[in-house]
Structure 1
Amino acid sequence: MYSKYHQAIKEEMEEFAKDSKVMFIGQQVKSEDFYNTLKDVSMSKRTEMPVAEELQMGLSIGLALEGFLPISIYQRMDFLPRACDQLVNHLDLIPFLSRGKFHPKIIIRSTIGTNKPFDVGLQHNKDLIEGFKALLKTIPIYDVKTEEDVKIAYNIARTQDTSIIIIERQELYYE
C-alpha cells in the first residue's frame, strides 16, 4: 500500500501535468509510471529515455531554453553523476555564461533507493546530496523526507524561475 508521502508526490505530478509546457522525461516514465507516481499523467506528456543520462539532461536543457518545463526524472540518484557534465558545466552555469540572458528551468527528480522490500544493491541506494551541493552554484537541492517536505519543495519548484533538484526517498513510498 502506498503512503501519504507517495500520494503527495503523485498529486504534485498531476498538478504539474495540467501545465501545457510541462513534459516528463526519463526512464520508466511510460513503461512503469515511475513507481506509480505518474499513473494519472497523460502518456502524451511523457517521453521515455534510453539509459543515456547525459543525453537526457542535454535534451532537458534544450527544451527549457525553448520555453518548456521539463521534469527530468532519474530513477535513482546513483545515476545522476552520469549527467554531471550537462548539469554542472552547462545548466548550472548558463545564467553566468549568458550574462543573465538565459535561465533554463528544469525540475530534476530523483530518488535514493531502498533496501525494503528487497536490497536494491550498492549501485542503487547512495545518498549523493552533499556531493552535488558542493558541485552546484545556482541549483538548490531539496531532500524530501515528509509529506510536508514534498509539498514545500514542489511549490518552490512551481513558483521559482530557477532549476531545482528534488530527491525523494523510495523507502517512504510504502506504508
Structure 2
Amino acid sequence: MSRKFTIIQAITEAMDQKMEEDQRVMLLGQDIGVNGGVFRATEGLIEKYGPERVVDTPLAEAGIVGSSIGLALSGFIPVVEIQFLAFIQPGLEQIVSHAARMRFRTRGQFHAGMVIRTPYGAGIRGPELHSESIETFFAHTPGLKVVVPSNPYDAKGLLIAAIEDPDPVIFLEPAKIYRAFKDEVPEEMYRVPLGKAKIIQEGEDVSIFAWGSMIRVAMNAAKQIEQEKGWRCEVVDLRTLYPLDRDTIIDSVKKTGRALIVHEAHKTMGIGAEIISLINDEALVYLRAPVKRITGFDVPVPQFSIEDDYLPTEHRVKQGIAETILF
C-alpha cells in the first residue's frame, strides 16, 4: 500500500519506522522534541518514544555531534538533526576528525554508525547562513557518505538505508522542496541503495546530472527543450554524492556524447568539477562537446530579495543544453 507524501512526511515516517523496529535508534537535535524541529520533521515522535530517545539538545553543534559519536561507539544509532547546513560548521571538527576516521583509526574495530540530517539550499527566503550548499566539504572527506534525495520515495528509502549503514552518513535534505509536491510512498519499510544513481529520463542527445531540488529544474528544462527543439535529454539523479555512481555517469556519457551538470553550490571546486574530471578520465574520447556546468555563483548566497538570481534556472539550463548540443 502507498500514500502520497511530501519529502518531509517521508523523512518523518522513515525515522518513525526505524525507531519502532530498532530500540537502538535515537534522535538528537535542537528543538526536535516538543517543537518537532524547525521544519517539523520530528513532529509527534517525542510523544511516541519519549525524551530519552528524542533528545532536545543545547544549541551546540560540536556537542551534539560529539555526543552522537560516543553513543554510536556504545551501540546506539544516533540520527542527528542540524537545523541548517551552514550551522554544522562548529561540529566539523567532530565530523571530520572523529566520526569519519573512526573505522580507519581503529583498524576496523569500531565504527561510528550515525546519520546527520540537515536541510540545505536556497529558495526558502532564509537569512544569511540558512541557504548554503556546502556538500563539497563532506564529499571531500574519506569515511563519510553524502546522500541527497530529490523526491519523497527516495527520501524515505535513502534515510532507512543511511540509518542501517555502519558508517557515518551526511543526509542533505533540499529545504526548497520539502513540501513542494507529493509522490507515492509505500507504507512498508524499503531501502534505496546508497551509492547508486537513477536515470529518471532516458535520452540520447545530452546527459544532465543533478541532485536535490535541481532535479526539478533539470527535468522542466529538459521537457521544454524537447518540445521546442526535439532534443532528448537523459536526466540522471545522482542521489549519492559520495561515493559517486561512476558507472552510471560514464555509461550515460558514452551513450549521449555530451554532458551538463546542474548544482546550486558555488561553481569553483564544486561536485561538478569532480564529475568533469571523472568524465575526462574515463569517457573523453566519447565527448562531442566540452562538459558544461550550470551552477550557483562564487559569492555568498545573497539575501532573499535577489536569491532567485543566484539559483540555476530552467532558462540557464536550456541555454546550457543548446550550447552543448550546438557546439
TM-score, length basis structure 2:
0.50
Kindly provide the CA deviation profile for residues 86-114 of structure 1, in whole angstroms up to 9, marking residues without a partner as x.
Answer: 10011111111111110121111111155
Equivalent residue for 1:39? 43
How many angstroms apart in 2 are the aligned matches of 1:16 and 1:106? 13
Q: How many residues align?
A: 171
- The 5 A counterparts of 1:1-175 are 4-18=6-20, 19-34=22-37, 35-41=39-45, 42-44=49-51, 45-112=53-120, 114-116=122-124, 119-134=125-140, 136-175=141-180
Give distance in 2, aligned partners of 1:7 and 1:149: 12
**1:48 shift after superposition:** 1.0
Pick closer, same or farther for the CA change 1:55–1:158 going to 2, 3 Å.
Answer: closer
| Counterpart secondary structure, 1:81 | helix
Identity, % of aligned pairs? 26
Please give the secondary structure, in 1, of the residue aligned with 2:129.
helix
Which TM-score applies when normalising by structure 1? 0.90
CA RMSD across the alignment: 1.8
Q: Which runs of 5 or more structure 1 residues have no equivalent in the other structure?
A: none
Q: Structure 2 stretches of 5 or more lacking a match?
A: 181-327
Tell me the SS of whatever aligns to 1:124: coil
Q: Secondary structure of the equivalent of 2:119?
A: strand
1:3/1:172 contact within 8 Å kept: no
> Which 4+ runs in 1 deviate beyond 4 A?
none
Task: Give 3-state SS (helix, strand or coil) of 1:24's partner.
Answer: strand
Name which one, 1 or 2, has greater alpha-carbon Rg: 2
CA apart distance, 1:82:
1.1
CA contact under 8 A between 1:14 and 1:40: conserved in structure 2?
no
Q: Between the two structures, name the one with larger relative contact order (CA 8 Å, sep ≥ 6).
A: 1
Whole-angstrom distance in 1 between the partners of 2:136 and 2:69? 23
